Amino acid sequence: MMTNLFSVFDPSSSMGLSMNWVSLILGMFLIPFSKWVINSRWVIMMELLVMKLYSEMKVLFSSSSKMVAVIFSALFLFIMFNNILGLTPYVYTATSHLVITLSLALPLWLGYFSFGWVMNCKWMLAHLMPQGTPGLLMPFMVIIESVSSLIRPGTLAVRLMANMIAGHLLLVLVSSSVMGLSALMFWGIILTQILLVVLEVAVAIIQSYVLVILSVLYSSEV
């Protein structure tokens, strides 16, 4: 019996077979080496995905390069693999931990934020004051825009973590109600769980996309 509902997110808890932090690189070992052969279906699919993300980034970047697309595509794949692997039994969901999500969002934000202030300081200062702001509200707008910029890595990290935790908690709550039910109710719960797993896979992909696109959007401002 689970003593704490949130113990499923504790990397040190559990059932003896938990992969803990090894789950961060587990996706690399689950893909057979034969899939990495040139012109294989896997490589072609990855190329199509990178090009699709590149086309999305070109709208946000005035001068986007393919290298930028590769970096953010790699981040997207890394987060997506970890989100989906977290749905596997006995595999720890690394992206449900704030340490992991913040370590992904903070370096990106710190990199382009520092670059903007060093290389384009006037533009960064102008960005703190939206055009057409009344003179009376200018001091407040500077404070609001400054706080908005500083909390961006936190919002990216918490958004990803909260969505992963919410979905897993829902699965745990539904599965814990199976015991002592009639056969009809049992199969109803099983069907509900299957639908929730499908929904969680969709959420895993969408949240990966949202984090990457918002990172690109923030970096395009500098």
- The mean per-residue pLDDT over the stretch 98-106 comes to 87
Q: Answer yes or no: is 4 within a domain.
A: no
Q: CA–CA separation, 178 vs 186, rounded Å?
A: 6
Tell me, what's the pLDDT at 21? 59
Q: CA–CA separation, 19 vs 23, rounded Å?
A: 6
In the chain, % helix, strand, coil (3-state, to 5) comes to 75, 0, 25
- Residue 14: pLDDT band by 50, 70, 90 thresholds? very low
pLDDT digits (tens, 9 = 90+) for 31-69: 655 555 666 676 777 778 777 777 777 766 655 566 777
Q: Answer yes or no: is 120 within a domain.
A: yes
pLDDT digits (tens, 9 = 90+) for 128-176: 777 777 878 788 888 888 888 889 889 999 999 888 888 878 877 777 7
Q: Which of 20-34, 88-102, 197-211 has the lowest mean pLDDT?
A: 20-34
Return all residues near 77 (Cβ < 8 A) that are at least 6 apart. Answer: 46, 49, 208
Q: Which domain does 188 fall in, by range? A: 14-221
Q: Answer yes or no: is 180 within a domain.
A: yes
Is residue 30 predicted with pLDDT exceeding 50? yes
- Residue 2: pLDDT band by 50, 70, 90 thresholds? very low
Q: Answer yes or no: is 9 within a domain.
A: no
Structurally, how many domains does the chain consist of? 1
Q: Answer yes or no: is 7 within a domain.
A: no
Token pair 């703190």 is at which residue?
A: 128
How much is the mean pLDDT over the chain? 76
- The mean per-residue pLDDT over the stretch 82-87 comes to 83
Q: Answer yes or no: is 102 within a domain.
A: yes
User: Cβ distance 93 to 203 under 8 Å?
Assistant: no
Query: pTM for the complete prediction?
Result: 0.74
Q: Answer yes or no: is 114 within a domain.
A: yes
Tell me, what's the pLDDT at 171? 77
Q: CA–CA separation, 136 vs 195, rounded Å?
A: 53
Phi, psi at 177, each rounded to 5°: -95, 5
Q: What are the DSSP calls for 34-59, one per residue?
A: GGGSTT-HHHHHHHHHHHHHHHHHHH
User: Cβ distance 203 to 84 under 8 Å?
Assistant: no
Q: Answer yes or no: is 5 within a domain.
A: no
User: Cβ distance 21 to 94 under 8 Å?
Assistant: yes
Distances (CA, A) of 2 to 135, 140, 198: 58, 49, 25
Is residue 16 predicted with pLDDT exceeding 60? no
Q: CA–CA separation, 169 vs 65, rounded Å?
A: 40
